[in-house]
A and B are shown apart, each in its own frame.
Chain A
Amino acid sequence: MRYRSIWSEVAPLVAKAERPSRYINHEWGSVLTPEADFRFCMVYPDTYELGQANQALRILVNAVNARPGMSAERGFLPAADMCDALRQAGLPAFSIEGCAPLNSFDAVGITLPHELAATNVLEILDLSGIPVRAADRAEDDPIVVGGGPCAYNPEPYALFFDAINIGEGEESLPEGLEVIRSLRAQGASRRDIWRALAKLDGWYVPQLYGWRSADEAQAAGSWIEPVEPGLPITVRKQIYRGFAQSSGWEPCVVPFAEAVHDRLNVEILRGCARGCRFCQAGMMYRPVRERSADNVVSSVVEGLAQTGYDEVSLTSLSTTDHSQIRRILTRLNSAYEGSGVRISIPSQRLDSFGIDMAGLVAGQKKGGLTFAPEAGTQRLRDVINKNVTEDDLFGAIDAAFEAGWRRCKLYFMIGLPTETDDDVKGIARLVQQAYEHARAVVPKDQRGSIQIGASVALFVPKAQTPFQWDGQIPPEEALRRVNLLRHSVKYRAISINWHDPKTSFVEAVMSRGGREASYLVEEAWRRGARFDAWSEHFNEQAWRDAADSLGMDVAAIAQASYPTDYIMPWEHISCGASRRWLVRERALAEQERTTPDCTFEHCSGCGVCMDLGVDNELADERVLGSAGSADAAGKLGTVAGAATEEGANAVAGDCAVAAAAGADSAAVANAAAAGPIGGDAR
């Protein structure tokens, strides 16, 4: 199909759409290259206001546009009303900058930000007139590539992608597109393009691999079987080696519509090596790479000047672990005092240093603080390697309430491996003690304003983590444990927040399913599932019926536990952490033994650095208890597995929600996920 603008045809629909500004382009910073011999559209599989906040989208559009002769545009899934209006009018989904049909591009990239976006991938492909299965695409259909956090278990998406990019996409994506461009120019067939991509580092081409049965897979040590000789059997993640030296300021689009996290985001470091055993982001983004204080400060200054934003967020998985964070915040504070510019840090350590840093950015406005102890007892926190003690938590609470904060939310997970009723009751004990600490330091007349809440999410086992072999607890059991927790809380001032996880079986299947899950996705979508992350759109029946019609036991996929010698369906994808290390971590969990953070202490041998030939890159030395927290042992507390979100149409969640000064959880994950084609780890 010829590349052309269809604006005149869609304009009447846009005028009547729920929020026209989602579709009109012309924002400050929007770039369209009129002449290009290769056109790429980078799609976020949800609406504009969610996708526009995604740093990966911005980074990758810039990276592709930087290549001579290549043009990259943004694409989003239209909101439900617009999807329907377009279908009715017989019009395709279109790109933002050029308003061109997606099927007129040479290649289309779709980021996979979280487990509940799969049916949206099919929705946008279908709406674009692109066959949803890669195998059914014609020679001149776009090459559809995927990436992002969910690519670390690519199988549930295997049917739909020509190729999947594993890891950080800054360099890897344009490389892959160059291959597509040159082969297309030579008139190569789709299959030839698949072959060439499969041989490129970091690219997985599912159509070139057969899928074994469970028995065969266990015997062979891998679920995939190349359909022809010469194909690799493991695909290793790629990282952006220039990250630390590259500028934290990236040209960006300033949306008209109020987007989620509508502010300047400066990614100050990538990766987190704390090694929480449930956390996929912590495994995916190793090693840790810090941008220097000078880089960060000048990036913020430049970014605010160029965009006109009045807020900047210093994003990462563990912002307050940055070795120069105090220097960064102090310098930014003095630069922007009295200007109305807000600085936010989405995550802080769960100790008094974290509160110190939160205090530096909060100024007079002390909203709510959030922390993620994750588990209620020291025993279970050791199991999950959350190196946080009660003293850390209470030290943080004392410091926070003394400094003037009055609201605090604590994130926990329920259903973690080895959890007992005592651990569940431990959550209540911990929250109550936190409340008592707060009361003790708050003046009598202000005690009524103390609010402490616990937000509880169901543990979802994630691929590429030491807990990948562990099953999820059944929904009835989850409910029993939550009720046990509720009944164990004696103070009325404490609220327990539990989100009924209707979507959690979908998340678990997408997170741990094999290739059969992609048939399930297709069938669920055919039966009407889309926008699964939107509670008002989630169509549980469609998923249940789809599973029935395929004879799939989704509960078993979610709940089955395996011994660690069992080969999981994503083991042909390597995030760098070795199988041996994951197995050892799982064993240490059983023994309730912790593993230190390699950016503070010694290397624990996860294997990423050797595998990729890289090292942690810190701007300065990270010192334990560097800022007044006297106790040693890297008492850290950010990355949570909680899946809650204040935002109305929040994407229900996935791994890395972070403790947030100002309750902005998704940002963290969002930042960390910037590298891969991938989205916001939520």
Chain B
Amino acid sequence: MTDPNAPRFFRLRCIFIEQGRLAMLSHLEVAHTLERTVRRAKLPFAVSQGFSPHMKIAFGAALPVGVGSTCEIFDLQLTEYVAPDKALAALRAASVPDLMVQECRYIEGKAPAASVAFPTSTYEVVFEAPISVAGIKVPETVTVVRKRKEKTLVVADYLVQPFAAVEGSPERVTFSLEAKPTGSLRPDVLLEHCTLPARTISITRIAQR
């Protein structure tokens, strides 16, 4: 049932990059920073009702500390329509360079939340030197500690696209991991458990779908 008198919101989906030193920020730090960015941009954001009102903003799946991205997502509820290019310009003027909004578009009010809509992430790894994909040895399982409990993850359940070479860039490879409702495997943790032919320089999320 929808309430015809419910206030109308505009749901703006924003894609941003997280790169350089700022890849070292925690999810919470990124979230705080983006809220402040939205305020500086003076967008007409919606505020929740009640005891301690806060901005209606939702973030995509958390990026591990140390991993960069070209495709992070946050969804913002606006109380007024602002043309996407205007919103983008305002956000960019209020952003720090390495945490820069790249794209804004409106999405359906009922569209699934960014945090669950894109279970599969593709990562790009840059190595210190050119490597051959065959040189990467992937373990069958990875044991992680979560909430003080050990948990053994079967890599094949998560690694939906195995390591693949990037044409023309012999020092780069890509791979994709899928998040499951029961948990997920972090890209940096997977790499730590792999036998690698060279030292890694960076890990970047390059696609979410």
Contact = CB atoms under 8 A, between A and B. Distances in A.
B192 to A, nearest CB: 13
Contact of B32 (A15, A20, A256): A256
Interface string A290-325: 000000000000001111111000000000000000
Nearest to B37: A308
B53 interface: yes
A256 B29 contact: yes
Interface string B6-40: 00000000000000111011101100110111111
A27 B47 contact: no
A14, A304, A309, A310, most chain B CB atoms within 10 A: A310
Contacts of A307: 36, 40
B133 interface: no
A19 to B, nearest CB: 8
Interface string A535-573: 000000000000000000000000000000000000000
Contact of B22 (A24, A304, A308, A365): A24
Contacts of A308: 35-40, 94
Nearest to B66: A15
A26 interface: yes
B193 interface: no
A34 interface: no
A623 B188 CA distance: 64
B98 A26 contact: yes
B52 interface: yes
A338 B79 CA distance: 13
Interface in A217-244: none
Given A28-B96, A258-B32, A365-B52, A21 B25 contact: yes
Contact of B25 (A11, A25, A256, A339): A256
A338 B47 contact: yes
Interface residues of B, number: 30
A340 interface: yes
A21 B47 contact: no
A32 interface: no
A663 to B, nearest CB: 15
Interface string A323-367: 000000000000000111000000000000000000000001100
B55 interface: yes
B65 interface: yes
Contact of A257 (B29, B42, B66): B29
A72 B156 CA distance: 53
Contacts of B47: 338-340
B24 A20 contact: yes
Given A26-B96, A26-B98, A364 B24 contact: no
B24 A21 contact: yes
B42 A254 contact: no
A426 to B, nearest CB: 38
- Chain A residues touching B, range: 20 to 34
B36 A21 contact: no
Contact of A306 (B40, B65, B66, B98): B40
A257 B33 CA distance: 9
Contacts of A24: 21-22, 24-25
Contacts of A11: 21
Contacts of B54: 310, 340
A365 B50 CA distance: 10
Nearest to A14: B24
Given A21-B25, A24-B21, A26-B98, A340 B53 contact: yes
Interface in B117-165: none
Given A256-B33, A308-B39, A309-B39, A26 B55 contact: no
Contacts of B39: 304, 308-310
B34 to A, nearest CB: 10
B22 A26 contact: yes
Interface string B41-61: 010000110011111000000
Contacts of B24: 14-15, 20-21, 24
A8 to B, nearest CB: 11
Contacts of A338: 47, 53
B21 A25 contact: yes
A274 to B, nearest CB: 33
A365 B51 contact: yes
Nearest to B53: A340
B96 to A, nearest CB: 5
B28, B35, B40, B42, most chain A CB atoms within 10 A: B40
B37 to A, nearest CB: 6
Contacts of B42: 305
A256 B47 CA distance: 22
B40 A305 contact: yes
Interface in A254-309: 254, 256-258, 304-309
Contacts of B94: 308
A129 B102 CA distance: 43
A20 B66 CA distance: 9
Interface of B: 20-22, 24-26, 28-29, 32-33, 35-40, 42, 47-48, 51-55, 65-66, 94, 96-98
Given A20-B65, A307-B36, 4 more contacts: A14-B24, A20-B21, A26-B21, A364-B51
Q: Give me the 5 closest cross-chain CB pairs, A-B, nearest first.
A: A308-B36, A308-B39, A20-B24, A308-B40, A24-B21
7 contacts: A20-B25, A24-B21, A25-B21, A256-B29, A309-B36, A340-B53, A365-B52
